[in-house]
Amino acid sequence: MGFLYEPPSIIQPVVIKNDGGGIVDTYIQQAHKYTAQGRRVEIRGSCRSACILALAVPNVCVSPAAQVKAHMAYEEWTGKPRPDVTEKMLRELPVHIRQRFDGKIRVNYSPEATLDYEDLRELNIPDCDKRRPVAIDNKKPNVNKQPER
């Protein structure tokens, strides 16, 4: 399952377990679509290359198995590095995430451009499995109160 796999219902999350990336423009378009839909994107495994654009979706979360790895974009047929496409990809990310990758992306994957669960949580990306606590009203009900009309 990967970022480009779109479940049939928009109430179903997109679950990333192993996505090796692909064409940057395709991933940008999909990130924009998921953002417009308000769709949840769950990174639950390996998300590499253009898949880092999952981090551009506001409703993204991570699990302890999440790992995001970036490398410089390149031309598919020649292998020639494309710093301009890499920059285009990075501009889609929230500023604080872009800054984390700043100056660390190389032609090949590197530890400096790899984010694991702890790194992603430090960037304020929520845990997919931890629910926000629900506020509980501990006040006793007023049995003498008349119902409102």
Q: What is the pLDDT of residues 65-97, one digit of tens each?
A: 999 999 999 998 899 999 999 999 999 999 999
Q: Cα separation of 113 and 71, whole Å?
A: 7
Q: Assess contact for 44 and 14: CB atoms under 8 A.
A: no
Q: How many Cβ atoms from other residues are within 10 Å of residue 119's Cβ? A: 15
- Give me the helix-helix angle, 83-91 and 24-37, nearest 10°: 10
Q: Assess contact for 107 and 81: CB atoms under 8 A.
A: yes
Q: What is the pLDDT of residues 32-73, one digit of tens each?
A: 999 999 999 999 999 999 999 999 999 999 999 999 999 999
Percent of the chain at pLDDT exceeding 90: 83
Run of H or E residues at 127: none
Strands 114-116 and 67-69: antiparallel
Cα 54 to chain centroid distance, Å, stands at 3
Length of the chain: 149
Q: Which amino acid is at 11?
A: I
Cα 85 to chain centroid distance, Å, stands at 19
- H-type alpha helices, the chain: 24-37, 83-91, 95-101, 117-122
Its pTM stands at 0.85
